[in-house]
Amino acid sequence: MLAQPSARIKANSDGRDWTSLFASVQRETPFRGVFHSSRDHLLVLHRDGPVQVESLCDRNIGKRVVPAGGIHIISPGVDFGINLTGSIETVHVYVRRSVIEEVALETVDGDPARIEIPSSIVECDRALQSLIDASAYAVEDESLGSSMFADYLSRTIAAQLIRAYSKAKLKGGGRASASGSMSPTLSDAVDYMMANIDTAINLTDIARATNRSPSHVARIFRTELGMPPHRYLINLRVEKARRLLEKTSMSIAEIAYECGFAHQEHLTRLFRRYCETTPAAYRRSKRN
């Protein structure tokens, strides 16, 4: 798909020392085509939309209107065809099949080579979207794109795919959920964070909003997202600041207030830590 003449590649991981993951960010315009199967799992995140997509090879997917944030999961080993009817920005991420099986060996009962993650279009999976977005940021900003970071992302993505979209029996009991990515409690917690991102939020507030105990909320963040709630909230705030720096003329002080940072210096310190550049330098790089 990325070889289509109309695909305008913005950044990709070619030339990096990434061995477990390939990522590419591009603007795709309407096209229709059938493509040979891959050995690896392909994820396509729609960064904007909605746009109508038709699968030319998979009747189970058929014709769908995919919203911004939608993710097309394409299984390895089968040809796939796409009819894209509109222009969208996408992130393509290939995760090595060997990584999927490596993670499956540690997390599911049975033969990891038999793990199946069927092709599908997912309209809302905030956890998986955040991981794909992290892959995009790493290829867009070379200072973030270490091989260690790519290895971490690939295995975290693999764990999410297995847990949410396979029917494998997880070690320790239970089955992976085929119906979605986040538990209802985690989804409610993230919704609360996003709705109140410009205010001071603590663990007790999130627990009260989800009708759970603070310890339960902390546990599900670590179990499902691999990080504590406060770190996930910082990620959300930094990501919102990044979008505002790119798309608005708001001052950095105004952006800090809008995103829930105590002051401009607070935003600058955390933005540098997570993005390895300052807000002002980031804005200049995008405008240049």
Residues 32 and 160 in one domain: yes
Q: What is the pLDDT of residue 110?
A: 87
Residues 76 and 31 in one domain: yes
Burial class of residue 34, CB neighbours in 10 A (0-12, 13-18, 19+): exposed
Q: Average pLDDT, stretch 206-218?
A: 87
- Residue 141 belongs to a domain: yes
Residues 160 and 30 in one domain: yes
Q: Kindly tell me if the per-residue pLDDT of 178 is higher than 50.
A: no
- Residue 177 belongs to a domain: no
Q: What is the pLDDT of residue 174?
A: 52
The domain of 92 spans: 8-165
Q: What is the pLDDT of residues 45-78, one digit of tens each?
A: 999 989 999 988 888 788 889 989 999 999 998 8
Alpha-helical segments (H) within 166-213: 184-195, 203-210
We report the CATH number of the domain holding residue 267 as: 1.10.10.60
Residues 121 and 194 in one domain: no
In 3D space, the residue among 201, 239, 203 whose CA is nearest the CA of residue 221 turns out to be 203
Residues 191 and 264 in one domain: yes
Tally of domains within the chain: 2
Q: Kindly tell me if the per-residue pLDDT of 1 is higher than 70.
A: yes
Peptide bond into 50 cis (omega under 30): yes
Q: What does pLDDT average to over the chain? A: 87
Tell me the backbone φ, ψ of residue 237, rounded to 5 degrees. Answer: -70, -45
